[in-house]
């Protein structure tokens, strides 16, 4: 059952999330914990791009999901934290795909990808279970949250792709009645705040922002759908995960990278 919270107009939710993202991004740029080099990466074209927008949008996404259920906000935070671990510790790791990362611990290695898979896959079912009363609905709700987090990160290989993968599916949620509208609007606000700098190749979400915003989008989807909708929405990320390398390569090629 969805927790009852004071409803905020959807336009206000959108604006608040966008403002939180922009303000947090600015604060991180100014403070640059650990030094500015720590917050800069090369993008697909070899340009130096900062990724302060990743943690900033993750914070906004967690606030959005937390208004549905605290466990949903926690799942978004876990998704962002696992993504941040990979952004810091996994930089330069050539391994791609679930099999490569899940097989690494057998060789005594703990990769950033393995941390993401295990952390998000553990947190999402807990959050999903909080949304639905019937056991048969709890499992697909968790799959939607975890799968959407991984899917958004999977397509975030070119400027604007990750934010676009959040904005497009979240938009219909604004028109629906029920609990999904407010978190969908807030998730869109956080993603929209990143788009100008992302498309301008001045900023990027990286794994931190992509996973967190994907999980927030998944939480909104899980909140607003019944069993049939959950199963349908769970199918896409599961299919994408099964052929992750091909999907990522196709999106990158489509972007002209």
Terminal-to-terminal C-alpha distance of the chain: 44
Considering only CA atoms, which of 153, 19, 5 is closest in space to residue 65? Answer: 5
Is 193 a domain residue? yes
What's the pLDDT score for residue 163? 94
Model pTM score: 0.85
Residue 200 lies in a domain: yes
**9 part of a folded domain:** no
Q: Residue 160 corresponds to which tokens in the numbers above?
A: 């604007």
> Quick check: is 1 in a domain?
no
In a domain, 27, yes or no: yes
Residue 105 is assigned to a structural domain of this protein: yes
CA 72 to chain CA centroid, nearest Å: 12
Burial of 153 (0-12, 13-18, 19+ CB in 10 A): buried
Residue 6 lies in a domain: no
Residue 4 within a domain: no
pLDDT at 218: 93
Joined together, the tokens standing for residue 41 give 């990466």
> Which residues fall within 8 angstroms of residue 85, CB to CB, at 6 or more apart?
112, 115, 116
Over the chain (257 residues), what is each successive 10-residue block's mean pLDDT?
58 91 95 89 85 94 85 91 85 53 54 78 87 86 92 89 92 77 90 94 93 94 88 83 58 47
Rounded CA separation 216/214 (Å): 5
Note down the domain range covering 127: 14-254
> How many angstroms separate the CA atoms of 45 and 68, rounded?
39
Structural domain total, the chain: 1
């Amino acid at each position: 059952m969805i927790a009852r919270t004071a409803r905020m107009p959807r336009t206000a939710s959108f604006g608040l999330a966008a403002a939180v993202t922009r303000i947090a991004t600015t604060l991180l740029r100014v403070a640059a914990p650990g030094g500015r080099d720590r917050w800069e990466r090369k993008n697909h074209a070899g340009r130096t791009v900062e990724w302060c927008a990743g943690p900033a949008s993750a914070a906004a996404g967690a606030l959005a999901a937390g208004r549905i259920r605290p466990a949903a906000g926690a799942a978004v935070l876990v998704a962002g934290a696992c993504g941040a671990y990979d952004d810091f510790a996994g930089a330069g790791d050539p391994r791609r795909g679930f099999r490569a990362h899940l097989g690494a611990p057998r060789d005594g290695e703990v990769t950033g990808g393995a941390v993401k898979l295990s952390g998000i896959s553990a947190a999402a079912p807990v959050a999903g279970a909080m949304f639905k009363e019937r056991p048969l609905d709890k499992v697909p709700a968790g799959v939607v949250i975890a799968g959407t987090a991984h899917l958004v990160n999977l397509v975030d290989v070119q400027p604007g792709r990750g934010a676009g993968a959040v904005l497009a599916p979240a938009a219909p949620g604004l028109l629906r009645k029920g609990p999904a509208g407010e978190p969908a609007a807030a998730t869109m606000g956080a993603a929209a705040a990143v788009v100008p700098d992302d498309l301008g190749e001045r900023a990027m979400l990286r794994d931190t922002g992509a996973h967190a915003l994907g999980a927030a989008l998944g939480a909104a989807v899980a909140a607003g759908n019944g069993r049939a909708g959950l199963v349908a929405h769970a199918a896409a990320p599961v299919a994408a995960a099964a052929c992750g390398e091909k999907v990522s390569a196709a999106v990158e090629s489509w972007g002209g990278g």
